[in-house]
Structure 1
Amino acid sequence: MKANWYRVMLCCGYNPLTGKTMSRINMHDVNPGGRDTFLQKLGIFRHQFVDQYAPEEEVIDRINAYEPDWLYMNKTELMRLVLYAKRTGKKIFHPKFYDPISEKVTENDRALFIEQLGPGIIDSYGTAETGACMLRLPGKDYYAVHNDSFVVNVIDEDGQLTRQGRVVITPLYKTDLPLINYEVGDRAIMRTWQGVHFITEMEGRLNDYFRYEDGRVTSFFEVTPVIAHCPDILQIRFIQKSWDLIHVQIVRDENAGMTAPQLEEYISGSLNQIFKKPFQFEFEWMKVIPPDPNGKLRMIVCEVA
């Protein structure tokens, strides 16, 4: 696990030998928060853990006191901190690199992270089965694959390469044959430039679809432009309650150019132009959208069929 993360760090230009890392506590860490090892006391492989479930003020104070070069937490956990900082004006130390992990980072998320944490955002992608296999570096609009260790393909229902489809990951570092292809339900968009394939968009498997009575669906990719082109939206979650009703949880920028009623009209009008049939909308305005029980945040939750 740590070796995989060190690979990501090195690809970004971070040196884990001399840098300072801070991360959330997770079940893979042995004695998190315990005393430094002998090497860490010498300034090598320094790593501190922060309780991601502590109050926002406390977590930010820990980050500011340690001043990490690399910070990584689940996206929802990090989003909780930047929303608090934006709401209260509290400053957060800007790490050289930070990685909101385990969930899709939307363009709205990215803009807010950069505003509150600086330009060093890293967007890594992987699975529990394979580890991180590709990453999006600061300032880039595509993911770079660790192509000496993985092959990542985007395929259609017939198993053929396609511009938009299912993600299949093949680790190359395993010496046993046959090679194993991992498909966990994520989807991606790919473009080709000068004969080289680039993955530009990822859709995590946690996102559901908007569903219709006749069996058709509308995907996350189809509605993303509506949200991405509206910087007044800081967080949003769609909960489809019935075949005709969508409940929208939303966090609005306090300095937004649009009022709440204008945003409601923009979202409902824009989405109904995309949907295959019109929906009714109800809006719940919030300061922070709470994560799901697994600690992650789905943008689309379908509660029908």
Structure 2
Amino acid sequence: MRLFDFSLKLNGFEINKAKIALEKIQSLQKDGFNDYLNTTRQEILAFHLQNNSFYNAIFNEADVNNWESVPVMTKQHLQQPLEHRLSNAYRANTVYVNKTSGSSGDPFIFAKDKWCHALTWAEIMNRFSWYDLDFNTSKQARFYGIPLDKKGYYKERLKDWFSNRYRFSVFDLSDVAFEKVLAKFKSTHFDYINGYTSPIVQFAKFLKRKGVVLKTVCPSLKVCIVTSEMLFDEDKILLETQLGIPIVNEYGASELDLIAFQNPKDEWQINSETLFVEILDGEDNVLPYGKEGRIVITSLYNKAHPFIRYDIGDVGILDKKSTIQKPILKKLIGRTNDIASLPSGKTATGLTFYYITKCVIEDDGNVAEFVIEQLSLDTFKIKYVSKDELSANKKESIGKAMIQYLEPGISIIFERLPKLDRSKSGKLKQFTSLIK
């Protein structure tokens, strides 16, 4: 029995019809696809203008025939009760309801109608099939958070059973915990790994210390798919080496869909079937391919809740070789709210600090993981987990790197901790600005 498909149908998601609909979209030729995109985005805009009082009240100046006149939505627009945002004829008990992780600093509850959510799953299953993975038959090793309350815990475990996956908690990254993880891989025919980047990287570091390549003890493994957190080039090399399998990068948002997925040609291919992705400048103008800007996304099928020209809070670049039918995400730079303001008035993405520091303190394997907090314009705190205290030379090197890449006058505070705090979902936020 195809348990995963069955569980979706049981919850009212018509996955078989969604797969057929997706195949029809993917079979369109260039002109047919352009017509499909223009028609579909006009239809979803017209629907919400006519059937969603929340959207109409704020964005009524949107012109169905002039897409670039459509105002940009932000997460701040959505900071109100869900029942105020649902379209006519939709109720919370008849749609898929979930909550964003809050990693952007603006968590909110959202909804998708059941057809939209079925298409989301069809899209995800299609992308995973690029690597010969079938959610009904392929065994997943899952590195995700799990609720610690009894009801939430067992609910997730039941979902894992239906989804043919085994979940490893990301809240304990000790060697003792990883020994148990390794033992499970030795005794289970896992087909793939899926989960948050940082705990999988920590597991790979553990394997390196043990002198173990995971593929040798679990030969059935085909691929590792990382998501939700930044994947740096050095970490990707580490994962490829210690896991012994290809590493695939996924980019998605729970309120939308799978946004981009690394294809077998090593391109970060954007989902153009159920989403419309644009890169905009600070004045909401569409930027050409190759230019850096805000990632703004339209959900083409969600009738229960509008996500139209929705600023997801990320910054990225579309590759110059992109087309309307096959957009390629060249680079995901980081979140717009992860911007550090410097004493000179200059700004830098928070991941700049993370990357500079990472290059300096992770070269000898002493530091397991770390995060950076901005306390004031000129003061940053580095919280880290390590076997030994950072040496004076290491701290001095970090200070010099900050000056070289950014500017003088920056103070660094170091705080060594036994472990780092993670969000309730299990994600690790690499950079946080505490400046209001």
In structure 1, the partner of 2:339 is 209
Quote the Cα distance in structure 1 between the aligned partners of 2:426 and 2:235.
Answer: 17
Structure with more contact order per residue of length (Cα contacts < 8 Å, sep ≥ 6): 2
* Pick aligned residue for 2:197 from 67, 70, 75: 75
Quote the Cα distance in structure 1 between the aligned partners of 2:159 and 2:276.
Answer: 38
Specify the SS of the correspondent of 1:6. helix
CA contact (8 A) 2:240 2:247 kept: yes
Distance of aligned partners of 1:154 and 1:3 in 2 relative to their CA distance in 1, 3 Å threshold: same
Quote the Cα distance in structure 2 between the aligned partners of 1:295 and 1:243.
Answer: 29
In structure 2, the partner of 1:159 is 284
Return 291-300 or 200-209, whichever deviates more.
200-209
One-letter amino acid of the structure 2 residue matched with residue 148 of structure 1: E
Quote the Cα distance in structure 2 between the aligned partners of 1:260 and 1:111.
Answer: 26
**Count of residue pairs the alignment pairs up:** 293
* Pick aligned residue for 2:166 from 29, 38, 48: 48
Question: C-alpha deviations, 1:5-28, integer Å up to 9, x for none?
Answer: 312311334233443223246569
CA contact (8 A) 1:73 1:99 kept: yes
* Pick aligned residue for 1:170 from 279, 298, 310: 298
In structure 2, the partner of 1:300 is 431
Specify the SS of the correspondent of 1:201. strand
Return 270-279 or 210-219, whichever deviates more.
210-219
CA contact (8 A) 2:379 2:411 kept: yes
1:271 correspondence with 2:390: no
1:282 correspondence with 2:426: no
Instruction: Write the mapping of 1:85-100 to structure 2, written as runs, cut at 5 A.
Output: 85-89=207-211, 92-93=214-215, 95-100=221-226
Quote the Cα distance in structure 1 between the aligned partners of 2:323 and 2:298.
Answer: 21
In structure 2, the partner of 1:245 is 379
CA contact (8 A) 2:295 2:315 kept: yes
One-letter amino acid of the structure 1 residue matched with residue 371 of structure 2: R
Quote the Cα distance in structure 2 between the aligned partners of 1:90 and 1:284.
Answer: 31
Quote the Cα distance in structure 1 between the aligned partners of 2:263 and 2:387.
Answer: 26
What runs of 5+ residues in structure 2 fail to find an aligned partner?
1-119, 147-151
Specify the SS of the correspondent of 1:200. strand
One-letter amino acid of the structure 2 residue matched with residue 303 of structure 1: L
Identity %: 19
Which structure carries more strand by proportion? Answer: 1
Q: How large is the RMSD of aligned CA atoms in angstroms?
A: 3.8
Specify the SS of the correspondent of 1:32. helix
In structure 1, the partner of 2:71 is none
CA contact (8 A) 2:297 2:312 kept: no
Quote the Cα distance in structure 1 between the aligned partners of 2:269 and 2:235.
Answer: 20
One-letter amino acid of the structure 2 residue matched with residue 59 of structure 1: V
Quote the Cα distance in structure 1 between the aligned partners of 2:341 and 2:258.
Answer: 31
In structure 2, the partner of 1:188 is 316
- TM superposition shift of 1:157: 0.9
CA contact (8 A) 1:108 1:228 kept: no
Which structure carries more helix by proportion? Answer: 2
- TM superposition shift of 1:287: 7.8
In structure 1, the partner of 2:127 is 8
The structure number with the bigger radius of gyration is 2
Structure-2-length-normalised TM-score: 0.56
CA contact (8 A) 2:145 2:427 kept: no
CA contact (8 A) 2:214 2:243 kept: yes
One-letter amino acid of the structure 2 residue matched with residue 212 of structure 1: L
